[in-house]
Amino acid sequence: MITVRAPATSANLGSGFDVFGAALDRPADVIRVEKADRTTIDVTGYGSEFIPEDPANNTVGAVAEALDAPAHIRIDKGIRPSSGLGSSGASAAAAALALNELYDRGLTRTELVPIAGKGEATVSGEVHLDNVAPALLGGFTVATGRDVTTVDADIPLVACLPEIAISTRDARDVVPAGATMEQLVYTIGRAATLTTGMCRDDPRLVGKGMHDRLVTPARADLISGYDEVREAALAAGATGVTVSGAGPGVLAACYPEDRRDIAAAMVEGFGAVGVDARAYQTRIGGGATLSRD
C-alpha cells in the first residue's frame, strides 16, 4: 500500500491571483491507495460528510483516470473542504503522487502537476495550478501556464478558518472582469515585492506584497468579519493579511514571535461578529511526502 501526506496550500497570496501558491506545514490530507479493477473512494475526517465518494465528482477520480490507474483510494481529510486552504487540490496532488508510484508511471512531480490540476478542475470548473503545484512541489510556487517555478521560502504564517463555506466556483463569480492600467501597475509592484520577500525569507516584504486592490476586495465582501479580522491581525503584528485562496480562510504573514498573538486576534475578530473560527499557526512547508507499507 502507498500512503501520501499532502499539505494544505494557500493560493493567490493577494497579488498573485491564479499564479502564486504556498505549501503550509499544517494541516494536511492523507491518502492510501491499493490496486483495484475500478476506482472506489472512501472519505473520512474533517468535513468528509460534504465530500462525494463518486469518482466522477471527487478530485481524485479524474487523477486516477488521467493516469489510467484504477485503485481503492482512502482519503483521510485533515483539511476542511471549501476552506480556501486547497482542500480539493491536496487530495488531487496526493492521489497523483500515490498512483504514479503504485503503477510505476515514472512521472516527475513537475509532470504530475497538470494531472493533479485536472482533478482540481472537476470541482472548480477550470484548471488552475496554484494549489496543486505547491502541494506537490512544496515552498512558494509561481505557476504560469504549464511552467512552475519554486522558491524554498521560510515565512511564518497564520491561516484562520471561519465556520463559513465558500466554494471556489462561487468565489470566481465575483472576480472583476477587467482591470485598469493603474490597477495592473499596482498589482505588478506588489507581486514583485512579494516574490522578492520569498527569495529573501523576509516577512515584511511578503506581507507588503500581499496587498491587492483587484480580486481581494470583491471576495472579502463574501466573508463576514473580514475587515475586523484583518485590522486585528495587523494590530497584533501581522506584516500583511489577505484572503487565502478563494476564501473564506484568511492568511496573515508575520515574524515568528508574533504568530501566537495574531492567531488569537484573528479568532477573536471573527468572534466579534459571531463567527466561530480556528487558526493554524503554520509556515511555508514542503511538498507531499510518500511512504510504502
Ligand X SMILES: Nc1ncnc2c1ncn2[C@@H]1O[C@H](COP(=O)(O)OP(=O)(O)OP(=O)(O)O)[C@@H](O)[C@H]1O
Cβ atoms of residues 167 and 81 within 8 Å = no
Q: Tell me whether residue 110 is one of the annotated catalytic residues.
A: no
Instruction: Give how far the C-alpha of residue 169 lies from the chain's centroid of Cα atoms, to the nearest Å.
Output: 15
Tally Cβ neighbours within 10 Å of residue 136. 33
- Binding part of the chain for ligand HSE, among 94-102, 103-111, 123-131, 194-202 by CB under 6 A, reads 123-131
Q: Tell me whether residue 187 is one of the annotated catalytic residues.
A: no
Site for ligand X in 179-238 (CB under 6 A): none
Residue 101 interacts with, from ligand HSE, ligand X, none (CB under 5-8 Å by kind):
none
Cβ atoms of residues 36 and 64 within 8 Å = no
Phi, psi of 144 (to 5 degrees): -125, 115
Chain position carrying cell 486576534: 265
Residue 130 interacts with, from ligand HSE, ligand X, none (CB under 5-8 Å by kind):
ligand HSE
Residue nearest ligand X by beta-carbon distance: 245
**Alpha helices by DSSP H, 42-86:** 59-66
Closest CA to 61 of 49, 47, 72: 72
Q: Does 172 bind ligand HSE (CB under 6 A)?
A: yes
**Least distance in angstroms from the C-beta of 13 to ligand HSE:** 10
Q: Which of 168, 193, 195, 239 is catalytic?
A: 168
Residue 102 interacts with, from ligand HSE, ligand X, none (CB under 5-8 Å by kind):
none
Q: Does 25 bind ligand HSE (CB under 6 A)?
A: no
- Which residue from 29, 76, 101, 130 is in contact with ligand HSE, where contact means CB under 6 A? 130
Closest CA to 251 of 89, 5, 11: 11
Strand partners, 45: 77
DSSP 213-264: SSSHHHHHTTSTTHHHHHHHHHHTT-SEEEE-TTSS-EEEE--GGGHHHHHH
Site for ligand X in 48-87 (CB under 6 A): 50-52, 58-60, 75, 81-87
Q: Does 242 bind ligand X (CB under 6 A)?
A: no
**Least distance in angstroms from the C-beta of 180 to ligand X:** 26
Q: Which residues in this chain contact ligand X in the complex, by CB under 6 A?
A: 11, 50-52, 58-60, 75, 81-89, 91, 123-124, 131, 167-168, 245-246
Q: Which residues in this chain contact ligand HSE in the complex, by CB under 6 A?
A: 11-12, 18, 124, 128, 130-131, 168, 171-172, 245-246
Annotated binding site for ATP: 80-90
